[in-house]
Structure 1
Amino acid sequence: MQTLTKRAIAGTLLSTTFLVTGLSSALIAQEATMVLPAREVGAPSYDPIRGTKLNVATTLIYDRMVLQDADQSYHGQLATAWETSEDGMTWTFTLRPDVTFHDGEPFNAETIAWWVPQFEGTENAFMTEAIESVEIVDDLTVRFIMKNPDPNLLSNMASSFMGVPSPKAYEELGDQYGVTGAIGTGPFILESYTVGQDTVLVRNEAYSAASALSVNQGPPHLARLTFREIGDDSTAFLEMRTGGVDMLLSVPADFRSMLDNESDVTMVTLPGRELFYMPINTTVAPFDDIRVREATALAVNQAEIVDNLYGGLGAAADTFLNDSLLESNVDDALRISYNPERAQALLDEAGWVVGTNGVRAKDGQALNVKLWTQNGTEFRRITEVIQAQLIAVGINADITVLDPSSINAEYRKGTEHQLAVRSYSWENADILDWFFSSDRIGYPNVSMWDDEPAEEMRILAMTGSRTWDERVANFTAYHEYVLTQFVFAPIYQPVQSFAYSSTTLSVPEQIRSTRVQSQTFLDIDVK
């Protein structure tokens, strides 16, 4: 277990008073405790550049160039204005003045010129790979010279992976950055962090980089925030009900109606940005046969999962992208949905014969496969339902449950897994590049998919789109091809629900983001 202790970095931190002398009774009253969503449990570090799994606390430690509103519009944070040339080959950003990192270092154009090249060679390099170079125009103006037009640049800049760290701290800590220290310009300062347990943040008293999406333009109202990692839904529910926590950032489906009936709990539902899916390892038998992959995908009864596990909340998934994205508008014939008759026929065609025990076999080998999932009630329940759905067509799946903080390292071994139940939360079609690029085989390309036509289409979508309309068209075509190869099975599109104690917290009525992030936390107050 790795623990980030109080202020591992020397410097004139604004939080020194909190850490050395302790909090006054008035400030203690301004504390709040939150429970992270299950998919965010187990983030191994707070390094936005090299990290592949982050949680919402990242958006409080670091500011970003721009933020995205719920209506998909962009608003300045570290950047106050921007413009692009007609040919899309330059972007010019004006930076916010008088911004200081938690370690006292200044934020300016030199910071951006240092920051962008840091992504090269990391798994997040796609965020900035269209940028050829960064020119410093003056102390508060930078110009991006592009390798190719990137109509998605603002979306990338709004990602939590694009939080800007202190160059001094980043260089000093090296590979340990995000583990033994994490320094941003954000509204909260990292006090302590224990992987898989909790993260404690304290207020940045000098904060002044709020966007127009927050009513509060100064330091946060809350003096101290604790984010707890609770993988078990029942435990999270009981903590909320008994007052052990003030907010659940994701409400377990089974407990929505019960929490909704609690007089001192307010529940809020937002449009979903998440998608559950089952990657299929294309490199190991029997899934190197596309007929078996298709049969496996068609055996998943998405509607049954929505109705029985989620009480009809959310929607069945039939592509890899959330329905809110234009690139999800594929040819209806390519959508992947429950079809047990075709699944049975495909397995017959592939030579897998049903045995007396209901499990298919071929050449004396039973159709037994490994199905991975991660700790957490929701993941386990979905996986168990899929296990039952697979056996209905003759596929026996043995479930392995792994810790979320270590499961990605296991995927990187390549051939250990065959099927898995996973989820992602993202608001952009470039998630296809993230999960299916041949550059990322093992993880995040858990399907282990390396396909030449797909690579050509992926590269065109990522780098060959001059306008937003071209990008949508290119990604839609790439998405359609992915669907024809059955490298995954779509499962479920959740809605977003969070709940908070209405006796202890005041939360904005309007959430100015695609999910609860920094702009909302600035306006949360205690009663």
Structure 2
Amino acid sequence: MKQKKLIALLVVLMLVLTGCGGSGGGSSSADSKTLVIAIQDEIEGTDIQQIGWDNVVHQLIYSPLVTYNDDLSKIEPCFAESYEVSDDGLEITFHLFKDSKFANGDPLTAESVKKSVERMKEISEYAGDVEAIEKIEVVDETTVKYFLSKPAPYMWASLTSNFGGVVNADKAKDLGKDEFNRAAVGNGPYMVKDWQAGSQIVLKKNPNYRTANPDVKNQEVGNFDEIIIRFIPDEFTRVSELEAGNVDVIYDVPAASVKNLQDNPDVTTYDYKQAGATYMMMQTDAAPLNDIKIREAINIGLDRDALADALNQIVSPLYGFLSEAQAGYSADKEAELAKQYKHDSEKAKALLKEAGYEDSDNDGYVDKNGKKLTIEYASPTDKASSKAAAPVIQEQLKSIGIDLQIKEYEQAYIKQLVKENDYQMASRNYVWNDADILYYVFTEASGYPWHDAAVTKTLEKARYTNDAKKRQKEYEAFHDAIFAKMPAVSLFADNYCIATGSNIKGLIVTNDGRSVFNDVTKE
């Protein structure tokens, strides 16, 4: 009898050891039913309607009714089984699956969607994204209809994002804002199990989840019982944890580590671009930058290719104000601008001469009436690519005779300087997968002092143009209008990288950086 028990014990021990062995990337982070992810920043909260920025945690907790496909060319069903838009763009109808539920098992009906949107309009800082929805009608238990005040194609960016996920508004009311923000109830593939502040958040599988997303094979519950998201601020620690097999997926791979990880057979990397632009805003109200010739000289005095080389290709040169990771981007317009504003030192010097600036004392800098052309540049300490770019830009502008003085501040302070119009030239950037972000950068709606009637007109027309091709043309017209005034020059789009162990299969990373985990498995 004891011998049989001993044999049985040995069999169990062998099974346990086999189950913990790992394979592929050599991950020892957990068994095949647990996925471990490392990210840089701890979340603000889990309630998508109370926070100002999101990340992969929220991608797992929430599911929007619709989603962009991977190249932003089409809007497809997601949590909704299907949807329709009226010909005039004023009515959007969503059809839910029968017996849809929140992650905690509460019924998720058309009324739930209505309450979620109403709550978003009431408390979210992104309420303006859905301001065009003037009425929501519950047609029946599984059908909800939005009535818009005017066509609002810009709204799709929000509806397809994590902010378009359905929040259990009744549960939020019962728990109160603070408690709900600790463990919000959504409709995504995972739900909050435990949030250990300063360390990690553990998500467990939502047994009620399903999706109509045609781009994934697994349209039901996730393949992992739990997903652990660890908060690891130090970028090289995230890399070493991946290489050691302690985590399965890392975000925000540092540029210095990308090549090594790409060459590592035990690692798979996924690249995508900033859905936006990093640019320099310029003072147009006071000398010397109130002279457009000087602003034009700066634009063509910059060698964006050389800048990208100096930054080890962690950025991609950008001449316009939209990247390929944004809806509304035009490759033709970007190519046109690249040709029109290509690097040309001699032409830049000629423009400075037309503005009255020449190097009269042969010190390498141009001057006017004995005063050197000096510009103060506000550069961020907390955006790595922009910080690294500043001294390169300084040297490039020095080559055409401009004395660029770098002043470093945190991004939030630079933003405030620009709002107060208390700057000469400042590093700025934005991220949003729709071109409508330009409306909140270059019009009076931005809260910034610079705006122009012709620029505002093109952006207002674009945000209410339903046809995608016509809308793209409007953003081409925007570029014509803004370059006629040139209050800013674009520099680059950041190149981002996600890395996984080679034993992690099925991850989808879209061109604007969304991570889709439905088909992910760990071998």
TM-score by length of 1: 0.78
Instruction: Specify whether residues 397 and 472 from structure 1 end up closer, same or farther in structure 2 by C-alpha distance, changes over 3 A only.
Output: same
Distance in 1 between residues matched to 2:300 and 2:175, nearest whole Å = 48
Contact 1:102–1:183 (Cα < 8 Å) also in 2: yes
Partner of 2:58: 58
**Aligned to 1:427, which of 394, 412, 433?**
433
Distance in 1 between residues matched to 2:201 and 2:60, nearest whole Å = 11
Structure 1 segments (4+ residues) deviating >6 Å: 172-175
Q: How does 1:477-516 map to 2 (within 5 A)?
A: 477-502=477-502, 505-508=503-506, 511=508, 513-515=510-512
Distance in 2 between residues matched to 1:116 and 1:258, nearest whole Å = 45
Measured against aligned partners, the alpha-carbon deviations of 1:231-286 in whole angstroms (never above 9, x if no partner) come to 64x4444443344543233433333221122232122345x354442231446644
Is it true that 1:386 corresponds to 2:407 in the alignment? no
* Further displaced range: 408-417 or 382-391: 408-417
Structure 1 portions without partners, runs of 5+: 1-24, 443-447
Is it true that 1:341 corresponds to 2:337 in the alignment? no
* CA displacement at 1:203 relative to structure 2: 1.3
Is it true that 1:204 corresponds to 2:212 in the alignment? no
Report which of the two has the higher share of helix: 2
Distance in 1 between residues matched to 2:388 and 2:275, nearest whole Å = 17
* CA displacement at 1:135 relative to structure 2: 1.2
Contact 1:215–1:523 (Cα < 8 Å) also in 2: yes
User: RMSD over aligned Cα, in angstroms?
Assistant: 3.7
Measured against aligned partners, the alpha-carbon deviations of 1:88-141 in whole angstroms (never above 9, x if no partner) come to 222211123333335654322223323334337965345323323111111211
Is it true that 1:327 corresponds to 2:334 in the alignment? no
Using the aligned pairs only, state the percent identity. Answer: 23
Structure 2 portions without partners, runs of 5+: 1-19, 22-28
Is it true that 1:149 corresponds to 2:156 in the alignment? no
Q: Which amino acid aligns with 1:385?
A: V
Distance in 1 between residues matched to 2:124 and 2:366, nearest whole Å = 42
Name the count of aligned residue pairs: 483
Q: How does 1:12-411 map to 2 (within 5 A)?
A: 29=31, 30-36=33-39, 41=41, 44-46=44-46, 48-49=48-49, 51-71=51-71, 72-102=73-103, 105-117=106-118, 118-119=120-121, 124-151=126-153, 153-168=155-170, 170-171=172-173, 180=182, 182-190=184-192, 191-192=194-195, 199-210=200-211, 211-216=213-218, 217-230=220-233, 232=235, 234-269=236-271, 272-282=273-283, 285=286, 286-311=288-313, 315-323=316-324, 325-330=328-333, 334-335=337-338, 336-352=341-357, 354=359, 358-359=364-365, 364=371, 367-375=374-382, 377-393=384-400, 394-402=402-410, 406=412, 410=416
Is it true that 1:526 corresponds to 2:506 in the alignment? no
* CA displacement at 1:297 relative to structure 2: 2.8
* CA displacement at 1:451 relative to structure 2: 1.4
* CA displacement at 1:401 relative to structure 2: 4.5
Q: Which amino acid aligns with 2:347?
A: R
Q: Which amino acid aligns with 1:59?
A: Q
Distance in 1 between residues matched to 2:88 and 2:450, nearest whole Å = 34
* CA displacement at 1:508 relative to structure 2: 0.8
* CA displacement at 1:52 relative to structure 2: 4.4
Partner of 1:18: none
Instruction: Specify whether residues 372 and 172 from structure 1 end up closer, same or farther in structure 2 by C-alpha distance, changes over 3 A only.
Output: farther
